[in-house]
């Protein structure tokens, strides 16, 4: 018996990413936020301690590999929407920000369960190892380029 499954490559990874992101963006749009806003807000919510705007921008930039100026604009949008608030030099998520992330998470949970459900644990573990290695190598290549 031959295995007809396609080999994992950059295209397959990209297609999976954009398919999953498309689902998430559809849900986020109903809540009035963008993908990048959700990433920044989640980073603020999950931080061990309140962050400065520069710390938050650096954390999101590390994840998204996008222009820090765009991330600063995203943080400003979250402040304008009152999903983040400044307290001195630190940013804090507001109750509205917490509620929005919780609501979006609750809405995406059953969708995620349908997407990921039924995949054998050993396949998920193998994919996790491969994705971690690809991420590590790509980050090293990006660092060498910059």
Return averaged pLDDT per consecutive 10 residues of the chain, 146 residues in all. Answer: 76 94 97 97 95 96 95 98 96 97 97 96 95 95 94
Contact between 101 and 45 under an 8 Å Cβ cutoff? The reply is yes
3-state SS of 123-139 is: HHHHHHHHHHHHHHHHH
Q: So what's the pLDDT on residue 146?
A: 87
Q: So what's the pLDDT on residue 13?
A: 93
Q: So what's the pLDDT on residue 139?
A: 94
The domains of the chain, with CATH numbers, are 24-118 (1.10.10.10)
How many helices and strands in the chain, by DSSP H and E?
A: 6, 2
């Amino acid at each position: 018996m031959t295995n007809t499954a396609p080999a994992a490559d950059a295209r397959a990874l990209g297609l999976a990413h954009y398919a999953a992101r498309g689902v998430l963006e559809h849900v986020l749009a109903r809540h009035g936020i963008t993908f990048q806003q959700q990433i920044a807000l989640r980073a603020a919510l999950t931080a061990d301690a309140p962050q400065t705007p520069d710390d938050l921008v650096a954390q999101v930039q590390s994840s998204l590999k996008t222009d820090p100026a765009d991330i600063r604009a995203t943080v400003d949008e979250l402040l304008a929407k009152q999903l983040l608030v400044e307290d001195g030099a630190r940013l804090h998520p507001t109750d509205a920000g917490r509620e929005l992330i919780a609501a979006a998470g609750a809405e995406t949970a059953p969708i995620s369960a349908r997407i990921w459900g039924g995949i054998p644990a050993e396949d998920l573990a193998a994919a996790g190892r491969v994705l971690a290695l690809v991420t590590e190598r790509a980050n090293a290549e990006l660092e060498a380029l910059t």
